Amino acid sequence: MEESTFLTKYSSKVYIIHWRDSFRASKIMQSRVISNPKIERFPTCKSPPGLFFAIGHEPATKFLDGQLQLDSDDYVLTHPGTTKTSVPGVFAAGDVQDKKYRQAVTAVGTGCMAALEAEHYLQEIGSSN
Ligand SMILES: Cc1cc2nc3c(=O)[nH]c(=O)nc-3n(C[C@H](O)[C@H](O)[C@H](O)COP(=O)(O)OP(=O)(O)OC[C@H]3O[C@@H](n4cnc5c(N)ncnc54)[C@H](O)[C@@H]3O)c2cc1C
């Protein structure tokens, strides 16, 4: 829904080809698409001049194999405002813990937070030994 709406800035017509007859996007995103005259669903058009794929997002957290607490969509849970995970000394940054923005700049920002928090963690355990 989001990508098709965005593409209408650059194209006079956008067709959505979807694998089933209902959408899972939020109601507001769906209503934006439905009310947008540039967007058509399930096209009769046989040869579009351009094709953009948008296949959703699945966080790459399977390798963790239950070692960190995840949410119901398999994103790593972090303590609010930090990159701390359910395991002390393990920090999560970027798309694996960011369900909302999933942008390079937010990944870099949380990466910086994780580096600083890891450094503080190492200092803390170093000074307590
Ligand atoms: C088509 C597309 C367009 C985008 N356009 C923009 C844009 O214009 N602007 C913007 O800000 N953001 C954009 N993004 C989003 C941006 O790319 C991501 O938010 C950002 O790359 C996330 O960084 P990351 O380091 O968290 O994850 P990634 O960049 O995905 O890096 C994760 C790395 O971990 C590796 N990895 C995964 N599993 C394992 C494993 N088990 N062992 C070892 N390595 C592993 C992967 O191979 C990958 O190299 C776009 C994304 C896509 C898909």
Q: Tell me the whole-structure pTM to 2 decimals.
A: 0.76
Q: Is residue 49 over pLDDT 80?
A: no
Residues 6+ apart with CB under 8 A from 1: 23, 25, 26, 29, 30, 32, 33
Among 55, 67, 95, residue to substitute to test ligand 1 (most atoms within 8 Å of Cβ): 95
Among 102, 103, 112, residue to substitute to test ligand 1 (most atoms within 8 Å of Cβ): 103
* 68 CA → ligand 1 middle, Å: 20
Higher pLDDT, 55 or 10: 10
Q: Identify the structural domains of the chain with CATH numbers, from first to last.
A: 2-41 (no CATH), 62-127 (3.50.50.60)
Q: Residue 127's pLDDT band (boundaries 50, 70, 90)?
A: confident
**Does 53 contact ligand 1 (Cβ within 6 A)?**
no
